[in-house]
């Protein structure tokens, strides 16, 4: 089966770069506004607090549980929601306890007695100090991986490629965070992992497009960067679409069948895969153009490198002959 | 068919290796190394504890008080006002002639302690180094003690490890019910601080009307009875001896009422102190105090030698069992507090496994079917590599006895989607070359060449993100980055080297007239 033919006409991506630029900037600005107004909904992993997951035999008496908790001073304002199904609820509260032998779950257990036959399926409690630590670690991880990737791409390509890919990356992460803010999804550790995966995935895509552009600079005769980019991106179009599709499919199955605990995680990835694919084609390459990447310069450098290598080889050959 | 080339041999070997070493994990057999399921999948208790190490410093000061009291009494030195205040021990001599003897004792036995002398009154304080050391010691001791307790409790493979400077990570898998979990938490947190304390017989009659502050003035403390909170005792706050001199504690039964009780045995020094004290205090009462509650306060009838005693209270057999474990494993020098707790019931873990397995199977099948439809045999070859990749991930994790968490499962599912990427890139390149009219051999060789740098650079960038995540992540997140990293590395072997080897091996079979079957393209055919 072929969706993209080998003689696929070259798409004029760069001619429309401005339009996509405007779309991207709008999305990023919209996300930033969302992040500032609605803000991220930090889950207990980062904000501290307790989440208790309770499963009832039959439907959960959610209203009764709310009433009981509201009557109790220390759990007033606890948030009780259905979790995945009508028989399961999640109780979220800001309170934590330091006592090892009697904790929030034991107290909750006492309060819930008489609400029906239930089982406490999980208790997550994170003290405020730990929450801060986890958040710092998360930010640190994000920063370090961006630095590491920047360094690697600069080394393999050129600094403009690195800068363009990191800008595409920031674009992807900002929009994904914007989506998380829009839907007020609990930010927990798995979501941090999802964001870092988006980081890796988006780069993966961008690097493959860039690799083709690097190759195109050598093989395509045109000295016009936009033409080289257009042709290279067109050549990778089929790969980009296919890989994005398989990844998207897999993440979608995770979202649909992976259970309630992985919902936020796979949602973040879904957004990330879409945005990451879009950005590798429509964001990263135009930035390369706007950074005034010069084909002539790059070719000269490559030629220089080749010359040096040839010379070295010649020297080696001479040396080997000399010793023989 | 061609002769087997080194690529396909390595691939087959890797495939075999993957299958063989993932068998123990897949069949859950008892033999061989296998993947351990994380607490979020098998259920269990995860806690991050912090140690209130300043309490250890306080009790260190208290024990210095006890020792000095014992030493002074032994030398028949008369003193007054032995008090513990603000982490220092203060006392005053009544007889000037005792000064040289006291100086001698302080020089010999209290080397690391700062002594301030003002006339006949002495103040002992801990040096900053000793405070630091005491705190560190308290944390290490807490780790050992909690580990001992959990081991003695008889649970399968609990983990107790120091994390960072002052935190303790406790992981207990396989807890079945909420009640069991609470019992384990109680065992972990139990101070198990056993003390023998003398009742202040001169003032005990007034204990019910006495305030804490007044008691403190006399160097006493008011404690209540364990089963009857109204019953109060006035005790000398510096104990006669404590649980550090205990060598054994066992559950026994009272012969009269068949109530469980705990028999304990003291070491030589403890037995001697106990004997001396009981000899001096016939007719007075001595309280057995555990964690600040009086369990019994019998009248001493005669000198008690041998150094054994018992604690009776209204124990249930379970309680007695746990208390004995706690006493045997030693007291916690400082109390522990929960900083983070995650507990997962076994049913939720099973649900998570089922859900992620379904996602894995559906995701895997859809990718495999898709690859075959789109690329024909080339897709089937890629699918072989994908299957080998999955086995390799399992095998490598088994060999390292790594922990598989829920995010780790998600990582494997994600790897399925991303691992075929390498083959998509390669197949696209091969198609391109075939369409340009190259021969099959050339298209394959050139295709792998062209695809390599892209795959390499893309994988290294993803790997950088995964490694950073592993270094900075905690618990479940580590599992995610681990499976992703292994998946990427394994895909280099299977998707690049392995498929390349297969092509070279079956090359003569590839019919250039049937490119649609082999590579899924309709072309006029190669020249």
- In this complex, is the C-beta atom of B413 within 8 Å of any C-beta atom belonging to chain A? yes
3-state secondary structure of B340: strand
Quick one: B13 exposed, middle or buried, by C-beta within 10 A (0-12, 13-18, 19+)? exposed
What ranges make up the beta strands (E) of B10-76? 36-37, 44-51
Q: Provide the number of structural domains found in chain B.
A: 3
Q: Are B487 and B418 in contact (CB under 8 A)?
A: yes
When CB atoms are compared, the residue of A1, A215, A249 closest to B367 is A249
Chain B residues within an 8 Å CB radius of A274: none
Residue B394 predicted with pLDDT over 90: yes
Is there a single domain that holds both residue B383 and residue B479? yes
Q: For A7-31, how does the pLDDT look when each residue is reduced to its tens digit (9 = 90+)?
A: 777 888 888 888 999 999 999 999 9
Query: CA B181 → CA A100, A106, B46, B138, distances in Å?
Result: 11, 10, 11, 25
pLDDT at A178: 95
User: What was the pLDDT predicted at B476?
Assistant: 65
On whether both B259 and B366 belong to a single domain, the answer is: no
User: HSE of B162 in the Cβ direction (CA atoms, 13 Å)?
Assistant: 14
Residue B12 sits in the same domain as residue B100: no
Domains and CATH numbers, chain A: 14-41+130-293 (1.20.1640.10), 49-126 (3.30.70.3400)
- C-beta separation of B339 from A129 below 8 A: yes
Chain B residue with minimal CA distance to A152?
B461
Does residue B526 have a pLDDT over 60? no
Q: How far apart are CA A271 and CA A269, in angstroms?
A: 5
Cβ contacts of residue A7 below 8 Å, gap of 6+? B435
Interface with B, mutate which of A110, A153, A257 (most B CBs under 10 A): A257
The secondary structure of A188-204 as a DSSP string is -HHHHHHHHHHHHHHHH
Confidence (pLDDT) at A117: 87
User: Which residue bears the tokens 């439907």?
Assistant: A59
Q: Assess if residue B134 is contained within a domain.
A: no
Tell me the CATH number at B252. Answer: 3.30.1360.200
pLDDT band at B104 (very low <50, low <70, confident <90, very high): confident
Which chain B residues in 381-410 lie under 8 Å from chain A, judged by CB atoms? Answer: 406-407, 410
Question: Which pLDDT score, from 0 to 100, does residue B382 have?
Answer: 94
Question: Is position B222 within any domain?
Answer: yes
Residue B170 in domain: no
Check whether residue B350 and residue B499 sit in a common domain: yes
Residues 467-496 of chain B whose Cβ lies under 8 A from any Cβ of chain A: 468-469, 471-477, 480-481, 484
A135 touches chain B (CB under 8 A): no
Candidates A55, A121, A250; nearest CB to B413: A250
End-to-end alpha carbon distance in chain A: 57
List the beta bridge partners of residue B198.
B286
Q: Which one of B129, B160, B175 terminates a domain?
A: B129
**Residue pair B408/B483 in contact by the 8 Å Cβ criterion:** yes
- The answer, for B82 touching chain A at a CB cutoff of 8 Å, is no
Output the CA angle A172-A177-A182, nearest 5 degrees: 125
Å from A200 to nearest chain B CA?
4
Q: Cβ of B71 under 8 Å from any chain A Cβ?
A: no
* Cα nearest neighbour of A255 on chain B: B359
Do the domain assignments include residue B436?
A: yes
The verdict on A289 touching B (C-beta cutoff 8 Å) is no
d(CA A161, CA A153): 7
Residue B66 has pLDDT above 80, yes or no: no
Q: With bands split at pLDDT 50, 70 and 90, how would you rate the model's confidence at B238?
A: confident
Q: Is residue B141 a part of any domain in this protein?
A: no
The pLDDT value recorded for residue B525 is: 47
Query: What distance lies between CA A95 and its chain's CA centroid?
Result: 31
What is this model's ipTM?
A: 0.82
Mean pLDDT of B348-363: 89
With a pLDDT cut of 70, the percent of chain B lying above it is 98
Whether B243 is covered by a domain: the verdict is: yes
Which among A1, A238, A258 is the nearest to B428, CB-wise? A238
Torsion of CA A288, A289, A291, A292, to 10 degrees: 130
- Among B358, B416, B435, select the one facing A257 at the smallest CB separation: B358
Which chain A positions have a beta carbon within 8 Å of B428's beta carbon?
238-239, 242
Name chain B contacts of A149, Cβ cutoff 8 Å.
Answer: 461, 464-465
Same structural domain, B87 and B219 = no
CATH number, residue B429: 1.20.1640.10
Asked if A25 is an interface residue toward chain B (Cβ–Cβ < 8 A), one would say no
Same domain, B106 and B238: no
- Does any CB of chain A come closer than 8 Å to the CB of residue B46? no
Q: Looking at the complex, does the CB of residue B459 fall below 8 Å from at least one CB of chain A? A: yes
Q: Is the pTM of this model over 0.90?
A: no
Residue B189 near chain A (CB below 8 Å): yes
What number is the average pLDDT over the span A209-233?
Answer: 86
**Most A CBs within 10 Å: which of B38, B184, B468, B516, as the mutation test of the A interface?**
B468
Q: In terms of DSSP bridges, do strands A186-187 and B36-37 run parallel, antiparallel, or are they unpaired?
A: unpaired
Residue of B nearest to A261 (CA): B352
pLDDT (average), residues B120-125: 85
So what's the pLDDT on residue B194? Answer: 86
Residue B153 lies in a domain: no
A6, pLDDT greater than 80: no
Q: Per the CB < 8 Å rule, is A261 touching B352?
A: yes
Instruction: Please tell me the distance in Å from A245's CA to the nearest CA on chain B.
Output: 9
* Upper half-sphere CA count for residue A89 (Cβ side, 13 Å): 20
How far apart CA B329 and CA B323 sit, in angstroms, is 10
The C-alpha atoms of residue A229 and residue A212 are separated, in whole angstroms, by: 9
pLDDT higher than 70, residue A323: no
- Domain boundary (B328, B360, B389) is at B328
Identify the residue whose tokens are 């060999």: B399
Does B373 share its domain with B515?
A: yes
Interface probe, candidates A130, A199, A200, chain B, greatest B C-beta count within 10 A:
A200
Domain boundary among B105, B129, B153: B129
A71-80, A267-276, B229-238, B287-296 — which one is most confidently predicted on average? A267-276
User: What confidence tens digit (pLDDT) does each residue in B283-334 have?
Assistant: 889 898 988 889 888 888 888 878 888 888 778 888 888 888 888 888 888 8
Residue B210, domain member (yes or no)? yes
Q: What is the pLDDT of residues A191-204, one digit of tens each?
A: 888 887 888 788 88
To which residue do tokens 């965070």 refer?
A: A177
Q: Which of residues 354-373 of B touch A (CB under 8 A)?
A: 355-356, 358-359, 362-363, 366-367, 370-371, 373
Range of the domain at B247: 193-328
- Per-residue burial over B54-72, b if 16 or more Cβ lie within 10 Å, else e, is ebbbebbbbebbbebbbbb
Sheet holding B88-93, edge to edge: B79-85, B88-93, B121-126, B113-118
Of A208, A256, A261, the CB nearest to B458: A208
Residues B368 and B479 in one domain: yes
The answer on B497 and B388 residing in a single domain is: yes
- pLDDT band for position B405 (50/70/90)? confident
Residues B103 and B64 in one domain: yes
Q: Kindly state whether residues B208 and B66 are assigned to the same domain.
A: no
CATH of the domain at B78: 3.90.1070
Same domain, B309 and B219: yes
A185 touches chain B (CB under 8 A): no
């Amino acid at each position: 089966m072929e969706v993209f033919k080998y003689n696929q006409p070259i798409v004029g991506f760069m001619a429309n770069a401005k339009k996509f630029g405007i779309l991207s900037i709008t999305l990023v600005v919209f996300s930033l506004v969302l992040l500032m107004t609605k803000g991220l909904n930090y889950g207990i992993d980062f904000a501290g607090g307790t989440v208790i997951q309770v499963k009832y035999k039959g439907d959960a008496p959610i209203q009764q549980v709310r009433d009981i908790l509201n009557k109790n001073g220390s759990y007033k304002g606890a948030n009780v929601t259905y979790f995945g199904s009508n028989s399961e609820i999640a109780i979220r509260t800001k309170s934590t306890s330091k006592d090892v032998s009697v904790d929030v779950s034991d107290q909750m257990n006492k309060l819930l007695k008489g609400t029906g036959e239930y089982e406490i399926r999980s208790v997550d409690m994170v003290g405020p100090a730990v929450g801060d630590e986890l958040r710092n670690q998360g930010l640190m991880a994000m920063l370090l991986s961006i630095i590491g990737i920047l360094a690697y791409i600069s080394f393999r390509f050129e600094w403009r490629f690195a800068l363009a890919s990191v800008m595409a990356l920031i674009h992807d992460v900002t929009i994904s965070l914007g989506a998380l803010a829009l839907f007020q999804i609990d930010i927990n550790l798995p979501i941090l992992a999802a964001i870092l995966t988006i980081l890796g995935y988006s780069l993966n895509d961008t690097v493959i497009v860039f690799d083709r552009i690097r190759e195109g600079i050598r093989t395509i005769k045109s000295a016009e960067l936009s033409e080289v980019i257009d042709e290279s991106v067109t050549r990778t179009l089929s790969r980009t679409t296919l890989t994005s599709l398989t990844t998207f499919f897999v993440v979608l199955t995770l979202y649909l069948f992976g259970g309630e605990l992985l919902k936020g995680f796979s949602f973040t990835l879904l957004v990330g895969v879409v945005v990451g694919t879009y950005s590798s084609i429509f964001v990263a390459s135009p930035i390369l153009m706007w950074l005034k990447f010069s084909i002539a310069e790059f070719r000269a450098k490559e030629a220089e490198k080749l010359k040096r290598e040839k010379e070295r080889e010649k020297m080696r050959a001479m040396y080997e002959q000399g010793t023989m | 068919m061609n002769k087997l080339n080194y690529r396909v041999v390595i691939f087959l070997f890797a495939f075999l290796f993957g299958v063989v070493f993932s068998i123990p994990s897949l069949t859950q057999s008892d033999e061989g190394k296998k993947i351990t399921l994380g607490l979020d999948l098998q259920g269990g208790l995860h806690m991050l504890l912090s140690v209130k190490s300043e309490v250890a410093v306080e009790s260190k000061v208290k024990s210095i008080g006890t020792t000095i009291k014992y030493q002074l009494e032994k030398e028949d030195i008369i003193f007054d006002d032995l008090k513990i205040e603000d982490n220092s021990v203060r006392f005053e001599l009544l007889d000037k002639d005792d000064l040289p003897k006291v100086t001698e004792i302080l020089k010999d036995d209290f080397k690391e302690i700062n002594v301030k002398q003002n006339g006949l009154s002495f103040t002992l304080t801990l040096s900053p180094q000793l405070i630091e050391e005491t705190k560190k010691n308290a944390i290490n001791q807490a780790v050992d003690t909690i580990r001992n307790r959990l081991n003695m409790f008889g649970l399968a493979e609990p983990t107790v490890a120091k994390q960072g400077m002052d935190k303790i990570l406790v992981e207990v898998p396989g807890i079945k019910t909420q009640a069991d979990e609470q019992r384990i938490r109680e065992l972990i947190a139990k101070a198990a601080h056993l003390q023998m304390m003398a009742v202040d017989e001169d003032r005990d009659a007034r204990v019910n009307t006495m305030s804490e502050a007044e008691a403190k003035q006399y160097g006493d403390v008011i404690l209540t009875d364990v089963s009857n909170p109204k019953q109060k005792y006035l005790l000398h706050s510096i104990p006669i001896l404590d649980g550090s001199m205990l060598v054994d504690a066992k559950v026994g039964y009272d012969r009269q009422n068949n109530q469980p009780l705990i028999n304990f045995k003291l070491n030589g020094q403890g037995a001697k102190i106990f004997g001396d004290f009981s000899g001096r205090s016939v007719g007075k009462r001595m309280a057995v105090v555990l964690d600040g509650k009086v369990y019994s306060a019998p009248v001493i009838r005669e000198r008690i030698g041998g150094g054994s005693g018992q604690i009776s209270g209204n124990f249930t057999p379970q309680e007695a069992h746990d208390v004995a474990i706690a006493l045997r494993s030693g007291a916690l020098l400082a109390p522990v507090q929960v900083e983070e707790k995650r507990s997962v019931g076994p049913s939720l873990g099973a649900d998570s496994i089922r859900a992620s397995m379904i996602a894995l199977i559906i995701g895997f099948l859809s990718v495999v079917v898709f690859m075959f439809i789109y690329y024909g045999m080339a897709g089937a070859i890629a699918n072989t590599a994908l299957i080998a990749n999955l086995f390799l991930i399992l095998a490598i994790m088994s060999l390292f006895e790594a922990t598989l968490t829920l995010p780790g499962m998600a990582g494997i599912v994600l790897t399925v989607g991303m691992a075929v990427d390498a083959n998509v890139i390669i197949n696209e390149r091969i198609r391109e070359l075939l369409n340009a009219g190259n021969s099959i051999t050339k298209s394959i060789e050139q295709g792998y060449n062209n695809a390599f740098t892209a795959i390499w650079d893309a994988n290294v960038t993803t790997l950088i993100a995964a490694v950073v995540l592993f270094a900075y992540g905690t618990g479940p997140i580590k599992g995610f980055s681990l499976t992703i990293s292994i998946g990427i590395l394994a895909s280099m072997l299977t998707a690049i080297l392995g498929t390349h080897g297969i092509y070279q091996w079956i090359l003569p079979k590839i019919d250039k007239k049937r490119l649609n079957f082999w590579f899924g393209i309709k072309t006029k055919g190669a020249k």
